[in-house]
Amino acid sequence: MSSLDPLVCSRCEMAYAFNRRMVTRSCGHSFCETCTQQLGPGCAVCPLSGTRVPALDIATLACAGCGEHYVRHDKVINQVRILDCGHRAMCQHASRPVCAICGKTSAKAPIDVTLTAILCRVRICYPDVIREQVRKPRQRRCWDWLRRKYAQL
């Protein structure tokens, strides 16, 4: 299980910067702008297709669930969810959340994986982001070798 840096694009593995901005998709996964343009409507992580979610300005990051800024948020932030309108809710206030910013009701609210990792300081691990892997020939393991050796005795 490998842990991934939430400030690095999970596709090209390059750090986000002013010239390589992070773009979050409606499925909740984030990539750099270059990878987002190459992917088109698809996602490199999950089978969902997704549109671009409006970019975040951390200085104006208000919770779409309660309307409070994330610094003054009274509930523990353990997941950041993307509402259908594109705003982020930092707490689960209802099963069908109503956005405190624009007032729209959301049918679904996928988790913004990268922003959850940044705000909650949790690691993103292999089940969260699936990387393309190159198949390598099976490596011999020590215990396999020992098992074969002692089976012959």
CA distance 69 to 66: 9
Residue 130 is classified by DSSP as P
Q: Where are the alpha helices (DSSP H) in the chain?
A: 33-39, 113-120, 142-152
Q: By three-state DSSP, how is residue 51 classified? A: coil
pLDDT, position 137: 47
For residue 113, give the nearest of 14, 11, 27 by alpha carbon.
Answer: 27
pLDDT of residue 11: 86
For every one of its 153 residues, what pLDDT tens digit does the chain have, with 9 covering 90 and above? 456 778 888 888 889 888 888 888 888 888 898 988 888 888 888 887 778 888 776 667 888 888 888 888 777 778 888 888 888 888 766 566 788 888 888 887 788 888 888 877 777 765 555 444 444 445 455 556 556 666 665
Per-residue burial over 64-95, b = 16 or more CB atoms within 10 Å of its CB, e = otherwise: bbeeeeeeebeeeeebbbbbebbbbbbbeeee
- Please tell me the distance from the alpha carbon of residue 25 to that of residue 115, in angstroms, as a whole number: 12
Instruction: Round to whole Å and give the CA distance between 34 and 44.
Output: 13
Residue 134's pLDDT is 41
**How far is it, in rounded angstroms, from Cα 22 to Cα 80?**
16
Cα–Cα distance, 35 to 23 (Å, whole number): 9
